[in-house]
Amino acid sequence: MGKVVQVAVGASLAVFGSLGLASAAVGQRNAAQAAPLNDRPYVFVAAPRESGSRGRRDYGPVAAFLTKALGHKVIYRHPDGWITYESWIWTDHADIYFDGPQFIAWRLHHLDQTLGPRVPQSQDWRLYTWKNSPVHTLRQAATGQVLCAPPFPNFGSLWVMSYFTNPMRQPYIRDMHGWKAIFQAVRAHTCMMGIGPRLSVHYLDPQHKGITIIQKGPHFPNQGFTISAKLPRAVRERIVQALLSPAGQKAMLRLRRRFAHGRRLIAGHAAMYQGVDRELALQWREVYGPVIQRDLAADIRREHLPVQQARAQEVVHDTAGTPRLD
């Protein structure tokens, strides 16, 4: 399905200390703090796991609700791709974020953001292979075995690669999208191994008749909201309280059905996310670290980001009043 690539993310990168990109992001944030917030809408973004139309459908009602709750315009802005979204995180482009625990932890650590409501279930990962395969242990899984997994910076991919800290003894990553597609590729022996959330793997093979679990992950905190330190503390607190209210839970209904099996989002505790960003920080350091501006500029050109950023400023509204981008 995808090109087989070898990715080197390991503990050898840990010696680099704090991220250079973090200081750049903080500088961007401090500059933005000086701008008059009352003159612009608050921007709500989420990780680009879907099309723009589905993003507006799922997240638009949250922006519309917060506009009423705060008495200040809130718009949902859909990123055009992962490079766009990662650059938005580094530069603290948005005011309200909803995404995975690795991003939450990074922003709490480096940007001093405020944690908002989170998905109540834990995030548990599984590394598996087909039944009766020659791979039974992590040691056997290394060095040349093909692993089907979502592309970085997916948290599951970051998690599994944290077990292979020696770049010379890492499996090859075949980028794939969708837990079912990964599962089917493993069952068809296209890939030696696959990863997936515990509940997804259980749904696809409840009795584990066709697969063998090689490694179970710890209980990580799940997805949630963070609010930028650009906003006054009182505004951040109002956003958290509004989202946790009955009306806020109703506005998040599509989001809750999609990511929380319909359960209500609950208050988050920052201590739960401490250290969850470690592998993400290492990966970002490896890819962008000391030459972030040069490499980011190259990625922006590949995604035509200047054109997309210009379009992102032209926020229009459909007939239902939900912010969207044409």
176 and 40 share one domain? no
130 and 115 share one domain? no
Q: Is the pLDDT of residue 31 over 80?
A: no
> Is 12 contained in some domain?
no
45 and 114 share one domain? yes
110 and 128 share one domain? no
User: Please, which contacts does 32-40 make with residues 24 or more away whose CB atoms are closer than 8 Å?
Assistant: 32/92, 32/230, 33/229, 33/230, 37/230, 37/231, 37/232, 38/72
227 and 205 share one domain? no
> Is 274 contained in some domain?
yes
Round the average pLDDT of the chain to a whole number and report it: 81
Count of structural domains within the chain: 2
Q: Is the pLDDT of residue 164 over 90?
A: no
42 and 26 share one domain? yes
260 and 317 share one domain? yes
Tell me, what's the pLDDT at 325? 29
Q: Domain of 149?
A: 124-216
Answer with the one of 170, 200, 216 that is the final residue of a domain: 216
92 and 240 share one domain? yes
157 and 191 share one domain? yes
pLDDT grade for 144, boundaries at 50, 70 and 90? confident
183 and 53 share one domain? no
pLDDT digits (tens, 9 = 90+) for 254-312: 999 999 999 999 999 999 999 999 989 887 876 554 445 555 555 555 555 444 443 33
> Is 178 contained in some domain?
yes
User: Please, which contacts does 71-76 make with residues 24 or more away whose CB atoms are closer than 8 Å?
Assistant: 72/38, 72/41, 72/42, 72/235, 73/41, 73/42, 74/41, 74/42, 74/43, 74/44, 75/41, 75/42, 75/43, 75/44, 75/315, 75/323, 76/44, 76/45, 76/46, 76/322, 76/323, 76/324
pLDDT digits (tens, 9 = 90+) for 229-257: 999 999 999 999 999 999 999 999 999 99
CATH number at residue 289: 3.40.190.10
Q: Which two tokens stand for residue 24?
A: 């750049």
Answer with the one of 182, 216, 250 that is the final residue of a domain: 216
**pLDDT mean over 77-105:** 93
138 and 59 share one domain? no
> Is 55 contained in some domain?
yes
> Is 59 contained in some domain?
yes
Q: Is the pLDDT of residue 321 over 50?
A: no
> Is 236 contained in some domain?
yes
pLDDT grade for 166, boundaries at 50, 70 and 90? confident
pLDDT digits (tens, 9 = 90+) for 171-194: 888 999 899 999 999 999 999 999
- Taken in order 33, 83, 222, 284, the sign of the CA dihedral is negative
> Is 2 contained in some domain?
no
Element holding 90 (H helix, E strand): helix 82-90
> Is 189 contained in some domain?
yes
pLDDT grade for 19, boundaries at 50, 70 and 90? very low
pLDDT digits (tens, 9 = 90+) for 188-234: 999 999 999 998 999 999 988 899 999 999 999 999 999 999 999 99
165 and 246 share one domain? no
Answer with the one of 216, 244, 277 that is the final residue of a domain: 216
